[in-house]
Amino acid sequence: MSLSLRNRIALFYLSATSVITLLLFVVIYQVVYDTSFKTLDERLEFEALDILDDIDMNLDSIYFTDESEWSEKEHSNVEVYPIFAEVANTEKISLKKTPNLKNDSLSITPGITENFNSRISDKPIRLLQRPIINRKGKLIGYIIVAIPVEGAINVISSLKNVLLISYPVLLMILFFISRYIAGKSITPLKKINDEAQKITKESLGTRIDLPKNKDEIFELAGTINGLMNRLEDAVLREKQFTADASHELRTPLSVIKGTLEVLIRKPRDVSQYQNKIQYCIKEVDRIGVLIDQLLLLARFESEEVHTNEIKIELNQNVQYCIHRLYEYAGDKGIIINFNEDKKYFVCADPSLLDIILENLLSNAIKYSNESKQIDVILAETKNEVICSIKDYGIGMSKEQIMRVFDRFYRSDEARSTEAGGHGIGMAIVKRLADLQKIKVSFSSEILKGTTVSLSFDKKDIDKSLLL
């Protein structure tokens, strides 16, 4: 059977307090018990020593030096706590006893040195027994002193009954108190639960009110609100992604549809058919590139990519990407300058690094003015190796730099040119750089160009050598 959190807290609290209370009751009972009999034992010990002082210890038999001790009031009358005393020889024959014993005698058990409980005339007594040894070390008899303990036993018995009855009653009271306290304690949790249940996909902007006390519940509410912020951001980004992807796909499809509709209106020359078909093929290729980039980005963002970071020569990867884009840059009359003054080594995944460099270089070519140049510079500091790609193109404002990694984002200047592209390349660059812990930074000025830098941590090189 599953218990509610309220009852579980109450039971945990009850379990702890029940053990503590039980130990406390046992201690109380033991203290009262020991204290009651300790007082009686001290009185018995005092009486035994008093009687022993009246016995001549120089003789081989028992001789009383003061008979008046036996006629004292406490020995003659039956009081609430009368003292019973008796002296016997080694044969257990009674030699002297107090008048209040009348026809009764106190039992003798040789060898016992501890005080113990016994009975006389069916009444409980506390009995002390001491051997009488003369100065020669010879045992000549026994002193037996007793006192009624009926009152002490009644007190102890009453205390025991009170403790046994009060224990379960106290536990029940503690349970209901702890259950009430637990209920008050989890009230903020119930409030958080009620507020969280009201949040739907249509009201993702709703947040849970934070409690006044900055405790663990406050942290829980803050964590849930943080989760809702991330969830809302993800949903909004997915909605924007879907809308942008639909827009990017709809444009070439509309162009293809319009072109084909124009072709079927009337017969045309073969050359016109060829031109229009080639135009449609170009748009289909554009759709194919967009779909490939979308699939690549989806794969990277789903964290299904496993990087294989090793020590590589950065110069070779840069040179390989420049070679691949040489013809593309040549069509615009752009020269890519790359001076290899020394070799630079970094820790990265070669294939993923090639995608990053190719996207950055193609962007630099795409948004550069014709007959300009692009500078690729490798440098290093104490802690980093830096690869910078500088173009002399349209540049970007600070607001545009802040959005450069957004999917499908293209500045108005970029859209006004015929550079092409879909605004996905930089999102791919950001994701691959994050996977490899590569820092990407931008600096740019409108109409003067843009510089993008990749920073590689040198510590990662040493780690890769240990693997």
pLDDT tens column, 397-426: 888 888 888 766 665 555 444 455 556 778
pLDDT tens column, 223-274: 888 888 888 877 777 776 676 667 667 767 887 888 888 888 888 888 888 8
For every residue of 155-221, DSSP letters joined together read HHHHHHHHHHHHHHHHHHHHHHHHHHHHHHHTHHHHHHHHHHHT--GGGTT--PPPPSS-SHHHHHH
Per-residue model confidence (pLDDT) at position 417: 42
Over pLDDT 90: what percentage of the chain?
14
pTM of the full predicted structure? 0.51
Sign of torsion over alpha carbons 9, 10, 15, 18: positive
Pairing relationship of beta strands 335-338 and 373-380 according to DSSP bridges = parallel
Per-residue model confidence (pLDDT) at position 348: 92
- The better pLDDT of the pair 330, 59 is held by 330
Residue 455: phi and psi, rounded to 5, are: -110, 125
pLDDT tens column, 418-463: 455 556 778 888 888 988 899 999 999 888 899 999 999 988 776 5
Statement: residue 306 has pLDDT above 70: yes
Per-residue model confidence (pLDDT) at position 463: 59
CA distance 183 to 195: 18
- How many Cα atoms occupy the beta-carbon half-sphere of 175 within 13 Å? 11
Per-residue model confidence (pLDDT) at position 70: 61
Per-residue model confidence (pLDDT) at position 73: 46
- Which of 289-298, 385-394, 432-441 has the least mean pLDDT? 289-298
